[in-house]
């Protein structure tokens, strides 16, 4: 079980994301972290890596570039950035906590598997560092993002999570609804929802010949079942979902063992 000291101002916090080191959301995350601790560092991808998932660069070198005081960029994925932050940038005094985000757009249901934001938190968790991923829901048809909603509510939420603690090999996935700060209707601890995934491919023809494809529009958000992250956010609540990194389907183990004659 991850436990944190009562006095949080001395926590070493590492911030990463998948929108890039210069993204508006990571600046929001930095201000949120500095409201909690005096020791805040940033190590994030140089360029946007949305949809990168838990990918790791194995065939290209990783370049660590200093952007400003305690702010660094990595020419790689969110996973690369967390690895570099923990094992290189802060190797002499590793972080006590990793915060990933704030992502521009929600990461709920099956989208967690695609999310570089969640992957950064996942990598930290695998390395033994407690982590929380944060995402701000948006309306894809609007350019406005309710960043003040995240900035208003997340410092107190983080403090409560740190006081409560959570199991090892589990990260916390937080999604903030697309409403003004005063319109948030509460906080709910939820399970992952389910929704139909986008399966459309848009075909284009290149002027010089040949065809290429874009992945089409992702599904519009459906309300989801009660108790899920999808339903909570649609109700104007902040969703808090503990994500266990043990993917084993234990209910299937017994029946498969019997069918295969390989029971333990």
Q: Give yes or no for residue 191 having a pLDDT over 90.
A: yes
Phi, psi of 113 (to 5 degrees): -70, -25
Strand partners for 103: 135
> Mean pLDDT across the stretch 129-134?
98
pLDDT at residue 183, as a whole number? 97
> Mean pLDDT across the stretch 117-134?
97
Which among 72, 93, 88, 76 is positioned nearest to 18, based on CA atoms?
Answer: 76
What is the spatial distance between Cα 237 and Cα 138, in angstroms, rounded to a whole number? 14
Q: Of all residues in the chain, what percent carry a pLDDT higher than 70?
A: 95
Q: Which helix (H) or strand (E) holds 211?
A: strand 211-215
pLDDT at residue 136, as a whole number? 97
DSSP H helix total and E strand total for the chain: 6, 11
Q: Of all residues in the chain, what percent carry a pLDDT higher than 90?
A: 74
Which among 228, 155, 221 is positioned nearest to 189, based on CA atoms?
Answer: 228
pLDDT at residue 212, as a whole number? 82
Q: Give yes or no for residue 220 having a pLDDT over 90.
A: no
Poorest-confidence range of 46-50, 157-161, 185-189, 241-245? Answer: 46-50
> Mean pLDDT across the stretch 169-190?
97
> Mean pLDDT across the stretch 239-254?
94
Question: 10 CB contacts (<8 Å, ≥6 apart)?
Answer: 37, 38, 39
Domains parsed from the chain with CATH numbers: 12-196+223-260 (3.40.1210.10)
Q: Give yes or no for residue 207 having a pLDDT over 70.
A: yes
Q: Give yes or no for residue 156 having a pLDDT over 60.
A: yes
User: How big is the CA angle at 118 (ends 132 and 50), to the nearest 5 degrees?
Assistant: 135
pLDDT at residue 3, as a whole number? 80
Q: At what angle do helices 24-34 and 147-164 cross, to 10 degrees?
A: 40
**DSSP structure class, residue 239:** E
């Amino acid at each position: 079980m991850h436990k944190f000291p009562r006095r949080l101002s001395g926590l070493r916090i590492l911030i990463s994301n998948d929108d890039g080191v210069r993204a508006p959301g990571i600046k929001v995350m930095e201000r949120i972290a500095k409201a909690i601790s005096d020791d805040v560092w940033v190590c994030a991808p140089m360029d946007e890596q949305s949809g990168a998932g838990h990918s790791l660069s194995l065939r290209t070198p990783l370049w660590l570039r200093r952007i400003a005081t305690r702010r660094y960029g990595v020419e790689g994925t969110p996973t690369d950035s967390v690895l570099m932050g923990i094992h290189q940038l802060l190797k002499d005094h590793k972080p006590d906590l990793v915060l990933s985000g704030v992502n521009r757009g929600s990461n709920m249901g099956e989208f967690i598997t695609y999310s570089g934001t969640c992957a950064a938190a996942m990598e930290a968790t695998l390395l033994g560092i407690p982590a929380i991923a944060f995402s701000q829901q948006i309306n894809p048809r609007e350019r406005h993002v309710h960043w003040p909603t995240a900035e208003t509510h997340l410092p107190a939420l983080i403090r409560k999570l740190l006081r409560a603690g959570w199991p090892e090999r589990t990260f916390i996935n937080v999604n903030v609804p697309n409403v003004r700060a005063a319109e948030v209707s509460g906080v709910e601890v939820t399970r992952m929802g389910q929704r139909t995934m986008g399966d459309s491919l848009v075909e284009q023809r290149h002027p010089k010949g040949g065809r290429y494809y874009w992945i089409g529009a992702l599904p519009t958000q459906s309300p989801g079942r009660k108790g899920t992250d999808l339903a909570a956010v649609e109700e104007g609540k902040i969703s808090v979902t503990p994500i266990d990194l043990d993917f084993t389907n234990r209910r299937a183990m017994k029946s498969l063992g019997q069918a295969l004659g390989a029971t333990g």
